[in-house]
């Protein structure tokens, strides 16, 4: 099976990683729109324009389905675009909400991008929500292990008021799991794991991972390696 996945940058690789771990014998084609990130502060029209271009690119790669590995697009325009392309589209919110329901989780906090929090997509299950506009740029710029990043994470966590569960409402945020665990005892809900459990994919195809990014530099290459830690091809593709 050939599966397309996309995000604003490297965040969706945390979803791809879970899919590869659970279903290694598939072909994965990933697009990270690093030239146009962050998505978390774009309006809905801008998000739809980017989604149109990326999904069209993935369709041309003959994918069987597309995973929208972006919390911002999933929470803001998924309902509008899900039937637009004649292709199966999977968002990251639906599997996450199902995981919460199936496990009867309560006392939930959410860390998300400004547009995800503004969308209210988690409002029915969340006790507290915090917009975290500074995290994606820090992660993308290779600064996740700095004191600056840790201090910002600590500040965001304070505003959640110690929930038992935290939804990592942006797919970039699992990269910060160890920092978050250092300062919170909450169970972390990784949307990539929820997606992988939800899909139940076949696992009998050709194992191959091809990564496209609209901007590639050495920091990106290091970030990709640190997340995936396996064989892949990487190319720059502006769309």
CATH number (domain holding residue 103): 3.40.50.1860
Say yes or no: 82 and 199 in one domain: yes
Catalytic: which of 132, 149, 170, 194?
170
Is 132 tagged catalytic? no
Identify whether residues 56 and 117 lie together within a single domain: no
Q: Is 149 a catalytic residue?
A: no
Give tens-digit pLDDT for 70-87.
Answer: 999 999 999 999 999 999
Q: How far is CA 182 from CA 109, 134, 153, 179, 188, in A?
A: 17, 19, 10, 5, 12
* pLDDT tens track for 20-45: 999 999 999 999 999 999 999 999 99
> Based on the domain organization, do 98 and 186 belong to the same domain?
yes
**What is the number of H-type helices and E-type strands within the chain?**
11, 10
Q: Are residues 156 and 215 in the same domain?
A: no
Residues 87 and 198 in one domain: yes
Domain extent at residue 26? 2-91+194-236
Q: Tell me: the pLDDT tens digits for 149-182? A: 999 999 999 999 999 999 999 999 999 999 999 9
pLDDT at 205 over 90: no
Contacts of residue 165, Cβ cutoff 8 Å, sequence gap at least 6 = 100, 105, 106, 107, 108, 109, 186, 187, 188, 189
Joined together, the tokens standing for residue 113 give 């991008």
Instruction: From the candidates 70, 132, 149, 194, give the one annotated as an active-site residue.
Output: 70
Residues 186 and 198 in one domain: no
Give yes or no: residues 69 and 6 share one domain. Answer: yes
Are residues 70 and 107 both part of a single domain? Answer: no
CA–CA gap between residue 157 and residue 175 (Å, rounded): 16
The total number of structural domains in the chain stands at 2
Question: What average pLDDT does the chain have?
Answer: 97
**183 shares its domain with 199:** no
Containing 112, the helix (H) or strand (E) segment is strand 108-112
Residues 134, 175 within the same domain: yes
Dist CA 89 CA 82 (whole Å): 6
């Amino acid at each position: 099976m050939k599966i397309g996945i996309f995000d604003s940058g490297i965040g969706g690789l945390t979803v791809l990683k879970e899919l590869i771990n659970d279903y290694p014998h598939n072909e994965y084609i990933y697009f990270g729109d690093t030239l146009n990130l962050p998505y978390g502060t774009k309006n809905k029209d801008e998000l739809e324009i980017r989604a149109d271009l990326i999904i069209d690119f993935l369709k041309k790669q003959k994918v069987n389905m597309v995973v929208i590995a972006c919390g911002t697009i999933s929470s803001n325009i998924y309902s509008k675009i899900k039937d637009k392309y004649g292709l199966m589209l999977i968002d990251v919110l639906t599997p996450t909400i199902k995981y919460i329901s199936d496990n009867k989780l309560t006392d939930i906090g959410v860390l998300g991008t400004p547009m995800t929090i503004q969308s209210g997509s988690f409002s029915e299950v969340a006790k507290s929500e915090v917009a975290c506009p500074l995290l994606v740029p820090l992660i993308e710029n290779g600064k996740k292990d700095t004191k600056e990043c840790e201090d910002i994470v600590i500040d965001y966590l304070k505003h959640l008021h110690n929930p038992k569960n935290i939804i990592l409402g942006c797919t970039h945020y699992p990269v910060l799991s160890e920092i978050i665990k250092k300062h919170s005892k909450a169970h972390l809900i990784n949307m990539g794991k929820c997606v992988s459990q939800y899909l139940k994919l076949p696992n009998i195809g050709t194992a191959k991972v091809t990564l496209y990014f609209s901007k590639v530099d050495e920091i990106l290459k290091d970030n990709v390696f640190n997340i995936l830690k396996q064989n892949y091809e990487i190319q720059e593709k502006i769309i």
